[in-house]
Amino acid sequence: MFILTLQGDDQGVFSIISDEGEQIIPIFECEDDVERYNLQMDEYTKHPKLQIVEVDGEVIVTACESRQQKYAIIGVDDFLVPPKDLED
């Protein structure tokens, strides 16, 4: 599985803010999907640069649950687009 982190900082995990104001970490099953999402994010200039990090699925899910951090597993049939509030 794959997550996005702040470039140069593996501890700064990228999250999306939901309509309810909750931080949700997207966890991608497919490397192609996370690469596509990261390329879309690169089109925006108002966010920090991100890097792709491969993670063990069980480890990241356990870490999120132990910290009561919401997460979403983005499967191969899912399509995630960057939030509109990042657009210029």
Per residue in 36-79, pLDDT (tens digit) is 999 988 876 577 889 999 999 999 999 999 999 999 999 999 98
Does residue 21 form part of some domain? yes
Does residue 16 form part of some domain? yes
Does residue 40 form part of some domain? yes
pLDDT band at 87 (very low <50, low <70, confident <90, very high): very low
Per residue in 5-22, pLDDT (tens digit) is 988 877 789 999 888 999
Does residue 34 form part of some domain? yes
Does residue 86 form part of some domain? no
Structural domain span for residue 51 = 7-75
When divided into structural domains, the chain yields a total of: 1
DSSP string across 11-68: EEE--EE-TTS-EEEEEES-HHHHHHHHHHHHT-SSS--EEEEE--HHHHHHHHHHTT
Which tokens hold the place of 56?
């063990």
Does residue 2 form part of some domain? no
Does residue 55 form part of some domain? yes
Quick one: pLDDT at residue 70?
96
Per residue in 22-31, pLDDT (tens digit) is 999 999 999 9
Does residue 83 form part of some domain? no
